[in-house]
Structure 1
Amino acid sequence: MSFLTAIHFLDLLGTVVFAITGLLAASRKQLDLFGAVVLAMVTAVGGGTLRDLILDVPVFWTQQTLYVYVIVISTLIVYVYNRYFDIPMKLLLVLDALGLAVFTVIGAQKAFDLGFSDPIVIMFGIMTGVVGGIIRDVLVGEVPLIFRKEIYATASFLGASVLVLGFHFIESRELAILLAMIVVFGLRMVAIQKNYGLPIFISKSAPADDSNKP
């Protein structure tokens, strides 16, 4: 299996995992099957769609309908499975971290190849990795994950930054991609295992949040 083939496989795997997170959000809100499929779809391809629209290139899933089939089929399978069994949350978190790493790298690489400046390349990497989750959370009426304490977008940012540096200073593009993915995945997994998070923004004059009190 070539390196590009492996990346494509991981991209499809990340698409499935992101779709499942959308499906689980739909389950929490008790949406019907159609609503679940829609939420899974926008979660899985939302970031890449916005990226391609801004880059003014054909939206990737309109050119490769395999992504649509993968999302719909996996969503239907999980929709039935989740009625009788629980999806292991630890496994889902690991695969989600891997999906974030792959999406970040693919988004940043696409912008880099189109000749954008380094800060813009990093922004497109983050956008590809996290926007789908933002759309998901907004649609179900929750505060998006990246706006909470979670180290999520931060991991994407650092990984995209490593990718840009690697493209400039490492001769092997494959090595730069691999290092960037390791950074994103590693930071996300450490944050999950150690329960690390960013400091909460608190204003002296703001009232305390009592939403978590019984």
Structure 2
Amino acid sequence: MIDFITLCDYSGTFAFAISGIRLASAKQFDWFGAYVIGLVTAVGGGTLRDLLLNATPFWMEQASYLTVSGLALLFVIIFKKFVIRLNNTFFIFDAIGLGLFAVVGIVKTLEFGFPMWVAIVMGTITGSFGGMLRDTLINEVPLIFRKDIYALACVFGGFIYYLCTFTGMSSSIIQFITAVSVFLIRVIAVKYHVSVPVLKGEES
């Protein structure tokens, strides 16, 4: 039986790949270009995390992540009228991937024996760095650098994970709560226009 963290990993890959492919379609990329953007979005954060943890990047040990990204492309192609025309599709899938990958990054870092503060940083990198690469490749200002609550949602989720470890709940429940928390923080922040203050330079 598949465990929750593996389910998070594959579900996050699928969701993030769709978010990347969705944006690539708006830029009129061809199928291969859209697949590359989707794949980079899906594996970018986890790749940086693994390199920092001195581990082999996860997708180099299992081709399934490349396959899941391919299925995401197929999903967008088949359901393009729903996925491409629905304005909030990118946002929903991106928020889902953000929450799931934040959990994956936290859990993997703790498994490597690092303290919780490192796990929170790695969870944030896992959740947000792929999106940063996606936005850079399609010539957009990365969400992580805008005033949106994006990477900070992963940070808050990391603290929620840490606090939940003192409750005696099972690891799967803690992981589920954390993923949902990151997703909800992201959604609520956008819905109610909660943002980080902009750092303004000197006026000329």
What TM-score does the superposition give when structure 2 sets the normalisation length?
0.88
Shift of 1:158: 0.6
CA contact (8 A) 2:25 2:84 kept: no
Larger Rg: 1
Encode CA deviations 1:122-158: one digit per residue, 9 max, x unaligned: 1100000000000011111211001111111111101
Q: For the residues of structure 1 that align with 2:48 and 2:139, how far apart are their CA atoms?
A: 21
Instruction: Tell which deviates more after alignment, 25-34 or 13-22.
Output: 25-34
Match for 2:150 among 131, 149, 152? Answer: 152
Select which of 104, 107, 110 maps to 1:109: 107
| CA distance in 2 between partners of 1:77 and 1:184 (Å) | 25
Amino acid at match of 1:96: D
Q: When the two structures are aligned, how many residues end up with a matched partner?
A: 203
Question: How far, CA to CA, are the matches of 1:206 and 1:139 in structure 2?
Answer: 31
Retained in 2: the 8 A contact 1:23–1:79? no
2:171 pairs with 1:171: no
- Give the Cα separation in 2 of the matches to 1:34 and 1:152: 28
- Give me the identity figure in percent: 37
1:195/1:15 CA distance change after superposition, 3 Å: same
1:63 to 58, 61, 64: 61
Confirm or deny: 8 A CA contact 2:18 2:93 kept in the other structure.
Answer: no
- In structure 2, the residue matched to 1:128 is 126
Q: What is the Cα-based RMSD across aligned positions, in Å?
A: 2.2
Match for 1:187 among 185, 188, 200?
Answer: 185
**For the structure 1 residues 13 and 174, does the alpha-carbon distance in structure 2 shift closer, same or farther, using more than 3 Å as the test?**
closer
Please give the secondary structure, in 1, of the residue aligned with 2:10: helix
8 Å CA contact retained: 2:109, 2:122: yes
Structure 2 residues not aligned, in runs of 5+: none
Which residue identity is paired with 1:129? G
2:132/2:144 contact within 8 Å kept: yes
Secondary structure of the residue aligned to 2:3 is helix
Question: d(CA) in 2 for partners of 1:130 and 1:38?
Answer: 17
Closer, same or farther: CA 101–75 of 1 in aligned 2, 3 Å: same
Matched, 1:199 2:179: no
Offset from partner CA, 1:57-79 (integer Å, 9 cap, x none):
22222222222111112213413
Determine the C-alpha separation between the residues in 2 that align with 1:110 and 1:21: 23
* CA pair 183-85 structure 1, distance change in 2 beyond 3 A: closer
**Structure 1 alignment gaps of length 5 or more:** 208-214
Counterpart-to-counterpart distance in 1, 2:55 and 2:5: 21
